[in-house]
Structures are given as C-alpha cells and as structure tokens.
Amino acid sequence: MRLDSSVYKTRRNSIVRGLSRKHGLDGLFVEKPLDIRYLTGFSCSKGALFLVGQGAYLVVDSRYAEQAKEELQNLEVVRLERNFLHTVSRLRRRLDGARLGYDRLYTTVATMTELRAALRGKVLWKGLEDPVGWERAVKLPQEIALIKRAVSIAQKAFQETLREALSGRSTEKKVASLLKVRMLQLGAEDFPFPVIVASGRRSSMVHTMPTAKRVAGLTLVDWGSVYEGYCCDITRTVALGRVPAKLKEIHALVMEAREAALQAISPGTTAGAVDEAARQVIERAGYGNYFNHGLGHGVGMEVHEWPVIGRGRTESLVPGMVFTVEPGIYLPGTGGVRVEDMVVTTDDGYRLLTTLPQELSPDAYLAD
C-alpha cells in the first residue's frame, strides 16, 4: 500500500513525539518489516530504520536500494555495504548522543551487540514493548477501506465455495483449497493464516487443520484474505447436514454473546469490558469453561494486532480501532460453534465491517 508520502512522515513524527513525551527518547530503531512498511510505505523482507528527531535513515541491501531511492521521499536511503556493522558506523555522526528506543520483543541481543559496537557506545538504548504496534492500532480511513476490501473478497469467496461444497462430496481439505483459490481469483494477494475447516465433532477443536474427512453436519470455517497489505479474519459455523439440538442451542447462545459484546463497544470502554459482556452470557448459561480464548484481537497489517480484546485488559477503545468479536463454545467430542465478525470503533459506538449472515443454514449465505 502506498499512501501519500506525507502520511508516512506524519506517522514517523508522531512516533518520535510520543517517545519523547513518554520515555524521554530522541527516536527509534525499527527492523520489523511490517513496521518499516507502516512508517515508510516501503515493503522489504529485511532492513533497518533509524528515526532521530526529524531525521529518518533506511538501511537496505542491494535488492532494495535502487527501488527505495526511487520511491521514498522525506527520508535518506542508505545502501548496505560490506556488512551491517560497517554500514551503521557510517551513521555514527548523525546518531551520536541520541537516546533511542527499540522493540525488545523483536530485536535480538546479537543485533543490539552489533549496534553498540558500530556506534561505539555513543547511543543510549531503551527496550520497549512493540512501540510501533501500538501506533498501528488506530487506523486511518484509507486503511479501513483496504481492510473492508479484504473482507469483501473473503466473504464472496466463502459464498461461492459454500455453493460448491453443497453440490457434492467435499472434504475439509477440498473446501479449504477451493476457498483459497477463489480468494486469489478475486484479488487477494495472500492469506493471513492457514484456512481452518472443521466438521462434525472436530468443530470443537479451536484451531485445527483441515483433514480428508468429508464435511457433514456442523462445520466451522475460519478464513481471511490479505489485500494491499491489510488482513481480515472471519469465522462462520454452518450446518451441512443434520445438527444435534444441543449444538443449535449453543449457536443461539453464541449469537446472544456476540450481540452483548457489540452493544458494549464504545470509545472509552476498556477491551476487558467488551470481553466480559460476552463472557457473562456464556458463563450464566453454564458454559464458561468451554469459552477458552479471548473475545477478539486487533486486525490490520497483521492478523493479530493491538488491541487485545480479552479478560482483564485495561486498554481503552478509541475511534479507528479495528478488531474481531468472536465468541465461541467448544464441547469436546460433540462439536463447537464460533462466529467471528470484524468491527471498527466509531465516535459513538461501532460499525460492522463484515456483512455475512450468521445463521446455521447455508441457504442464508446463498441468497442473492
């Protein structure tokens, strides 16, 4: 994705101002590829970005140097020469005396050892927890539009795959394969995670992989697409044949929990309060032990981002946060139900990004 270059410069300046205010730092060292893309608009498998005050220096090797110099504005592209240590040492004068943060969850001890050697101890370092990830939690309208496009691709592919799955004998693996092929045909560039298809008793396995088992009865499908670098994540549980009355009751309860969670979403509400709204519905019905994961997670350039919508989370929701709402109940040996939608927090509540029906009947998904 390429937004206007001013967007990326604004993001970099916002990061530096926030680090100065919160931690007394002058800038940030970034090497996670998705974070580099978020802050520059440039996609590479390996690189290093130094933000210092108003300055930005992107170190890339010969695979990317020419393209980066052609595409990027408002920052300096530094071509990797000989090795990382030698190249960084060329930046010593610009970084001398700076106080820089780095992502301690991503950057290795080996990399920090090289940085300290290259800069001869002239930089003060502070490890931080996913500093760019927190910035990525709030999406611009243009980013939400790209996520919405990923959702549209995934939804249409599911409807068409479901139609084919109902036409004959299909296995879990075949349904997953058909779904992936159709998403690519519709414009997806990738998949954010392996497609999950679990039918019958296997639907109680929260994140199982598809097998050669024929799909029959209650069938859970969890899938997503990537469009222009942005992900979506959707789950539906449908009846491809007879479904025990117990599981129909479970589905109705999951839908009640979903609605309770949606009604709890508003700016200023904590992520934990949204989780609790859904969890209370399930716990009151006696199935608390069978809802064994958080209610949701942020989605954007990664399929799991901030915010985490889980029990006890104290982060407050703000407009522009995109995340999943996915209550589930899983009864080992019997089957499970999960319904997963994507929402964006708005100024006065929320807006659904997913528009597929939630019914058990496949007919609801196939109606024109």
Q: Which of 2-6, 25-29, 123-127, 354-358 has the lowest mean pLDDT?
A: 2-6
**Burial environment of residue 100 by CB neighbours within 10 A (0 to 12, 13 to 18, 19 or more):** buried
**Burial environment of residue 322 by CB neighbours within 10 A (0 to 12, 13 to 18, 19 or more):** buried
pLDDT for residue 235: 98
Beta-sheet strands, E only, within 48-156: 48-52, 55-60, 76-79, 99-103, 124-128
Residue pLDDT, tens place only, 157-172? 999 999 888 876 799 9
- Token pair of 22, please? 């919160």
Closest to 302 (Cα-Cα) out of 224, 187, 221: 224
Mean pLDDT of 27-41: 96
pLDDT for residue 168: 65
> For domain 141-366, which architecture applies?
Alpha-Beta Complex (3.90)
Supply the CATH classification number for the domain 5-136: 3.40.350.10
**Is 333's pLDDT higher than 90?**
yes
* Rounded distance between C-alpha atoms, residue 296 and residue 345, angstroms: 13
Mean pLDDT of 5-15: 91
Question: What confidence category does residue 73 fall into, taking pLDDT thresholds of 50, 70 and 90?
Answer: confident
Mean pLDDT of 338-366: 96
**Is 27's pLDDT higher than 70?**
yes
Whole-number mean pLDDT of the chain? Answer: 95
Q: Which percentage of the chain shows pLDDT scores above 90?
A: 92
Give the pTM. 0.93
Pick left, alpha or beta for residue 331 (phi over 0 → left; psi -120 to 50 → alpha; otherwise beta). beta
Q: At 293, which amino acid appears?
A: H
pLDDT for residue 97: 93
**Is 368's pLDDT higher than 70?**
no
pLDDT for residue 164: 83
**Is 255's pLDDT higher than 70?**
yes
**Is 43's pLDDT higher than 80?**
yes
Domains of the chain by residue range = 5-136, 141-366
Residue pLDDT, tens place only, 201-234? 999 999 999 999 999 999 999 999 999 999 999 9
**Is 1's pLDDT higher than 60?**
no
pLDDT for residue 121: 84
